Structure 1
Amino acid sequence: MVALAPPGEETLIHSRRTLFWLLTPAVALLLLTTTYPLVYALANSFRYWVLSRPGQERWVGFENYTRAFGDSDFLNSLLVSVNYTALAVVFAVSLGLGIALLLQKASRLHTFVKVLLIFPFAVSPALKGFSFRFMLDSHSGVFDAIADVIVRSVGWVLTLGGLVHYPAFQIGGLEAGRLTLLPALKFPVTADTIWLADGFWALFWMAMSEVWGWAPLFALMFLGALGSIDTDIFNAARIDGATSGRIFWHITLPLLRPVILIVTLLKIISSLRMFDQVVTMTGGGPGRATETINHLIYQVGFGRGLDMGYASAMAYILVVALSLFAFLYVRVLFRRA
């Protein structure tokens, strides 16, 4: 057998040059589409630049940034984004973990269900928003029909017990001498409910449209983490008399803590960037109840304001927040690796 000689120095140089020229177009395109817009937007954030007032551009320093933190619209959008993120993170992580624990026990369904779980995440955010908007329609939406059936069924049962006389409006609880807990909790108890007309429910359903896509993905991630845990640990705990609840709280949950932290940071980053569902479901309404930071930036820069300088400043405030969470995400990821 004849041993092959290693390539000579000229061959290595030629290979490196070839690799350089092959990578150059991709790197140039990346710089053109990513780095240049970032630098350009950063420069604009320190300028007064309103498209409807040409010729008045000037350098204003940090004025746009100080303006943002004194702007009630920006502070409102910040609060909306935080509330939306909290709803989406809590429900997506909790449901994802719950689905994973259920699927872990039903091993025969693993392959089939895993294929189904990836589909919701593959659906575009805009399409999710349109789909939920149709399902929340007050006349033909499926959610309104389900709520109506539940309310009427519970009311019928309470009526049989002699507890209420008007079950459509008096269900559970006590308010003004009548059983009206659900209306007190702002839960719609009549048919033809306009779900997106209330600020709380509009934000809630926007978050649920995002949870519908992310919870199955998190379930797959949790399934992988659960599969990597040595089953001898659980068997030993059961032999020692530990209940399922104690095993979950004292063994499963601590072992899943790194994965929970990773998916939480990933969902926070995704939720703070949310824009599509605002456009397709609510348009920021009712009022400004669902106007997130991204939607406000779009409206200021390209909608009602055309104030590119101020929009760039708000965008960079969001970039700083996202960079912080991205740094934490990468740090946790590498520490786990």
Structure 2
Amino acid sequence: MERPFLKMNSIKGLQSKTTFAGWGFIGLATLMICLFYFYPMIQALILSFQTGSGNNLTFVGLDNYKRLLLDPTFKVAVFNTVIYLIIQVPLMILLALVFSVMLNEKTLKFKGFFRTAIFLPAVTSLVAYSVVFKYLFGPDGMINMMLLKTSLISTPIQWLTDPFWAKIAIIIAITWRWTGYNMIFYLSSLQNIDPAIYEAAKIDGASPIQQFFKITVPLLKPIILFTSIMSTIGTLQLFDEVMNITGGGPGNSTLTISQYIYNLSFKYTPDFGYAATVSYAILIMIVFFSIIQFKVAGDKNE
């Protein structure tokens, strides 16, 4: 007969082996996260209190943050980025919701084709599609040609050289790129909603519009909040489209914060310390807008 203390020792030995194996699985991942995420963040924070380029860095305390508050170019970049944010993100979220509801209809034919077609822009190269849009919105591009042929305009629109139309071109480009990406989240969530809920609403006389606002939107609220925050983060870090379509012009009218960081690091006289300070300004803005979205769209009971 097996003795109780021997059985206890074997159980403890098995638990120790299991714990060791568990730490073995997560240890490497934890090390990589600390090495490639947290260490650069801490180094960037330290760098934000310095000025200079390469190894020629000097400690300047809070001077970079004081400079940030008085920097007119930074203010222009923040203004442009916020304009993209407040126009493009709600537009993209609404389009993604509408497309997902339409493509979730059981009677719709060729659903696979339409889903693929709308999602396909999300997997295209950022640089490649930006260059394509630059030619599409050129003075002799396809957009102007179509508008002229349909008599909607009498003279070509200067999409890339007019401050207002340049912003519109950027908004159209990023909306085209990311709408399908968000649509997939909504579509997968819609497929988990019990169809009996909509059938009951139809019996009660609810119109499709009422079903959308009274059933679909409330049930998708956690996913809408998630995609809104992720889209906000992406827009605040917007770089590729502006860099390749307008180059930040004309006259910094489309300049974003991320492009300004690039200019500070590689285009102007390099100042990595101040560039790090501007990058932490993006972090503060992300936290600020995320908190607002949680307060506005989050659950009141949370």
- After superposition, residues 106-117 of structure 1 pair within 5 angstroms as 106-117=107-118
Cα distance, 1:249–1:88 mapped onto 2, change above 3 Å: same
8 Å CA contact retained: 1:265, 1:328: no
Following TM superposition, by how much is the alpha carbon of 1:60 offset from its aligned partner in structure 2, in angstroms?
2.3
Partner of residue 3, structure 2: none
Q: If you compute each CA radius of gyration, which structure gives the higher value, 1 or 2?
A: 1
* Alignment partners' CA distance in 1, 2:213 and 2:299: 26
8 Å CA contact retained: 1:129, 1:206: no
Following TM superposition, by how much is the alpha carbon of 1:230 offset from its aligned partner in structure 2, in angstroms?
3.0
Cα distance, 1:8–1:79 mapped onto 2, change above 3 Å: same
Match of 1:34 among 33, 37, 40: 37
Following TM superposition, by how much is the alpha carbon of 1:98 offset from its aligned partner in structure 2, in angstroms?
1.8
Give deviations 1:276-303, integer Å, cap 9, x for gaps.
1121111110111111001111111222
Cα distance, 1:247–1:32 mapped onto 2, change above 3 Å: closer
8 Å CA contact retained: 2:137, 2:144: yes
8 Å CA contact retained: 1:96, 1:218: yes
1:318 is the counterpart of 2:282:
yes
Partner of residue 79, structure 2: 79
Describe the SS at the equivalent of 1:58: strand
* Alignment partners' CA distance in 1, 2:211 and 2:71: 49
What amino acid sits opposite 2:228 in the alignment? Answer: T
Unpaired runs of 5+ residues, structure 1, are 155-187
Instruction: Count residues with an aligned counterpart.
Output: 293
* Alignment partners' CA distance in 1, 2:32 and 2:288: 26
What amino acid sits opposite 1:67 in the alignment? Answer: R
Partner of residue 95, structure 1: 95
Following TM superposition, by how much is the alpha carbon of 1:247 offset from its aligned partner in structure 2, in angstroms?
3.0
* Alignment partners' CA distance in 2, 1:111 and 1:272: 32
8 Å CA contact retained: 1:129, 1:281: yes
* Alignment partners' CA distance in 1, 2:42 and 2:65: 16
Partner of residue 176, structure 1: none
Describe the SS at the equivalent of 1:228: coil
* Alignment partners' CA distance in 1, 2:298 and 2:114: 27
Partner of residue 4, structure 2: none
What amino acid sits opposite 1:61 in the alignment? Answer: G
- After superposition, residues 194-273 of structure 1 pair within 5 angstroms as 194-273=158-237
8 Å CA contact retained: 1:87, 1:204: no
Unpaired runs of 5+ residues, structure 2, are 1-6
Describe the SS at the equivalent of 1:195: coil
What amino acid sits opposite 2:252 in the alignment? Answer: R
* Alignment partners' CA distance in 1, 2:154 and 2:96: 29
Report the aligned-residue RMSD: 3.1
1:128 is the counterpart of 2:129:
yes
* Alignment partners' CA distance in 1, 2:224 and 2:188: 12
1:46 is the counterpart of 2:49:
yes
- Normalising by structure 2, report the TM-score: 0.83
8 Å CA contact retained: 2:101, 2:187: yes
What amino acid sits opposite 2:128 in the alignment? Answer: L
Partner of residue 148, structure 1: 148
* Alignment partners' CA distance in 1, 2:131 and 2:116: 24
Cα distance, 1:232–1:15 mapped onto 2, change above 3 Å: closer
Give deviations 1:175-200, integer Å, cap 9, x for gaps.
xxxxxxxxxxxxx5314x43111112
Give deviations 1:235-279, integer Å, cap 9, x for gaps.
333333333333333333333333322222221111111111121
Percent identity for Structure 1 against Structure 2: 27
Partner of residue 264, structure 2: 300
Following TM superposition, by how much is the alpha carbon of 1:14 offset from its aligned partner in structure 2, in angstroms?
4.7
1:189 is the counterpart of 2:191:
no
* Alignment partners' CA distance in 1, 2:22 and 2:95: 46
